[in-house]
Chain A
Amino acid sequence: MARAAVLGRLTWRVGTLVAFRDETEFARTLVFSIPDWPGHDAGQHVDVRLTAPDGYSTQRSYSIASAAGGDLVELTVERLADGEVSPYLSQVLSIGDQIELRGPVGGWFVWDPSLAAQVLLVAGGSGVVPLMSMVRTRAKFGSHVPFRLVYSVRDPGSVLFGAELAELQRVDSSFEVHYAFTRTTPAGVARPAGRIDATYLADAGFSAGLAPAVFVCGPTGFVETVANLLVAAGHDAGRVKTERFGPSGSQR
């Protein structure tokens, strides 16, 4: 919140792509160097502006995946089949190319590593991106606040950051990842494919009595369902922060 209070004008800055990593068949992480980048909090996003040679331009918002602080900004962009901007960012933009960005934006859906409350993160698909920034920020700042990530994803091939999450879980007993595969489960997983329900949330998440801070991010229908389940399970609505994307009813 402190950042919001001192926010000056958010100017457009030129970001240069310095690296990229393909996370899945459809998602690529783009690493930008942005001179005079003021830094960001875990969970914030940036606006991206692309301009075509004839002057046509358009803007989109993308969550930041990298940890708070730091000079580089990582965006993990999922390519949408009918997207206007995501196919360009995830397939065409090359090392050394420049685009315009401004931010960081958003002072609500953010996690502050100085907070003591345990944290429940619930991700639907690429909604894991801003939550990953929180997970990385926790590790970077050496926080030992108990974190649980409940990650709903279509199939094993669609998991973002899987190896990094596994490693973080291996080295830190207060960090847990619980996958809910909605279509195809990997070999050896007992839980049949299916959406997150009340039972799964109760088993994998923190109970309402522990008063965790909760962050839910994903497609609208997913977030609506999960937020309703959490409130029904006794979580205080004021501690459940949500970020929704996509059309109502979408299950991307």
Chain B
Amino acid sequence: MAGIVSPGFFGRRRVAGASLPPGQYLVRDFPVLSAGPTPRVSHDTWEFRIVTETGEKRGWDWAAFTALPAEDITVDLHCVTKWSKLGTSWRGVSVDTLLDGIETSAEYALALSYGGYTTNLPLSALVDGKAWLAFSYDGSDLTPEHGGPVRLLVPHLYLWKSAKWVRGIDLRLREERGFWEQLGYHNDGDPWLEQRYSAD
């Protein structure tokens, strides 16, 4: 596109040293974007389960989940609605830990949430220390508005891939598109490639 320049527009220059993906701007607060009412899930009833392509299931209730080894995580967040927030602090369980010992030849994953939300990812985007099930933000229990009790955290992709209120991951041989992916958003959602919408 031949650049359309706005002579009277100056804009707010980036903070020195801040590295942002294309088209993103920095925020200091933590916006909330959700497509519907916030589900309320208590620790008593919360469950998470992984189902493989053969139907093999593995599940955790709250006690079993919180007994798993957890990590402190400091990552940058990039939302497709253009805001980025740098240096956020979480605590969670690596997806590698959850997948440990599970036999699968699946290449795709579909994350499922309380409230019906879904998002799809290649399994490769979730492993090797790139994704977590986060239960704490900034030293406190994750609030329902931000996806508590537990949300998926996949910080290398746009934040809609980090499913709030996550209740499971299905491992699949074939890809099935999730909620926003069916509604015109990009299948992969890499912020550094600015993969916002389906054909970006």
Contact = CB atoms under 8 A, between A and B. Distances in A.
Interface residues of B, number: 41
B11 A84 contact: yes
A44 to B, nearest CB: 10
Interface string B18-34: 00000101010111111
A240 B34 CA distance: 11
B198 interface: yes
Question: Could you say which interface size class chain A belongs to?
Answer: 35 or more
Q: Is the interface of A mostly helix, strand, loop or mixed?
A: mixed
B197 A7 contact: yes
Given A7-B198, A50-B9, A61 B82 contact: yes
A12 to B, nearest CB: 5
Contacts of A241: 35-36
A88 B9 contact: yes
A245 B184 CA distance: 20
Contact of A244 (B6, B34, B180, B197): B34
Contact of B11 (A9, A56, A61): A56
A92 B9 CA distance: 8
A224 B11 contact: no
Interface string A51-78: 1110111111100000000000000000
A172 interface: no
A228 B38 contact: yes
B37 interface: yes
5 contacts: A4-B182, A50-B6, A58-B23, A59-B82, A240-B36
Given A9-B197, A57-B11, A244-B32, 15 more contacts: A7-B199, A11-B1, A52-B11, A53-B5, A58-B12, A97-B6, A220-B145, A224-B145, A237-B36, A238-B116, A240-B37, A241-B35, A242-B37, A247-B30, A248-B32
